[in-house]
Amino acid sequence: MSFDRSRLPDPQSYYESQGLKLSKGKKWVTTSCVFHGGSDSMRINLMSGAFSCMAGCGAKGGDVMSYHRAIKAWDFVTACKDLGCWIEDGKVSSKPPRPTPLSPRDALTLIGYESLLVAGFASSMGHNYRLTQSDQKRLLEACGRIQMIEGFYL
Range of the domain at 123: 104-153
Bridge-partner residues for 27, per DSSP? Answer: none
The reply to whether 118 falls in a domain is yes
66 & 17 share domain: yes
- Give just the sign of the alpha carbon dihedral 20, 66, 99, 95: negative
CB neighbour list of residue 30: distance below 8 Å, 6 or more residues apart: 22, 23, 40, 41, 42, 43, 44
Q: What are phi and psi of 69, to 5 degrees?
A: -65, -45
- Asked whether residue 6 carries a pLDDT value surpassing 60, the answer given is yes
* pLDDT tens column, 107-121: 788 888 888 888 888
DSSP 64-104: HHHHHHHHHT--HHHHHHHHT-EEETTEE-SSPPPPPPPPH
117 & 56 share domain: no
- Asked whether residue 15 carries a pLDDT value surpassing 90, the answer given is yes
| Count of structural domains within the chain | 2
54 & 112 share domain: no
CATH number at residue 43: 3.90.580.10
Is this model's pTM higher than 0.75 or not? Answer: no
- Mind spelling out the 3-state secondary structure of 104-154? HHHHHHHHHHHHHHHHHHHHHHHCCCCCCHHHHHHHHHHHHHHHHHHHHHC
* pLDDT tens column, 32-48: 998 888 888 899 999 99
